[in-house]
Amino acid sequence: MGVENLLRGFPAVLEKHPDTTLIIGGEGPIRGELEKLAEPLGERVRFLGYVSDEDLPVLYRAADLFVLPTVELEGFGLVLIEAMACGTPSMGTPVAAIPEVLEPEALFPGIQPDDLASGVNRFLSSPRPKGMREKVERYAWPRVAKKAEEVLMKALPDSD
């Protein structure tokens, strides 16, 4: 998922913003490796483990920034939509469909640790963006359903 690159870039974030805390949610087969990589960062990195669907909105709203550091194989990036729907500014790497979801200024220049650190530092040094919920309105279920219906109706043969 690229979390290792975010961890490797995080010391450069702490240099400019020493009070920043990186919170990582989720479980996976490389969690032990990630925890080892985070050891030198001390209490500035916290691993939450599995986060229930009920708790996710609370975490999104509590965050100053949501980061999706994907390096490959990201389908759509639904987690970006979820975070922004909670009003949380979000950034992601320019991989797969992520650029279709995010505004250009919310994209990291690449997937490397330095790319992630520079993007987070830029965000933390700038005024907080507003209107995250409005940016994801195009993905609201009623709108998606209407678009899907339009596509399906075009695909149907005329029944005259």
The one-digit pLDDT tens for each residue of the chain (160 residues) are 899 999 999 999 999 999 999 999 998 899 999 999 999 999 999 999 999 999 999 999 999 999 999 998 766 778 898 999 999 999 999 998 899 888 889 999 999 999 999 999 999 999 887 767 676 776 666 776 777 788 888 888 775 5
Give all domains of the chain, ordered by start, each with its CATH number.
3-155 (3.40.50.2000)
What are the DSSP calls for 31-80, one per residue? HHHHHHHHGGGGGGEEEEE---TTTHHHHHHH-S-EEE---S---S-HHH
Residues 48 and 29: their CA atoms lie apart, in Å, by: 15
The sign of the dihedral angle between the CA atoms of 50, 52, 56, 62 is: negative
pLDDT at 74: 63
pLDDT at 59: 95
pLDDT at 58: 94
pLDDT at 91: 95
The tokens 């691993």 sit on which residue? 47
pTM of the model: 0.83
What is the DSSP pairing of strand 45-49 with strand 22-25? Answer: parallel
Amino acid letter, 44: R
Find, among 149, 75, 144, 80, the residue nearest to 108 by Cα: 80
pLDDT at 55: 95
pLDDT at 144: 67
**H-run or E-run covering 25:** strand 22-25
pLDDT at 160: 52
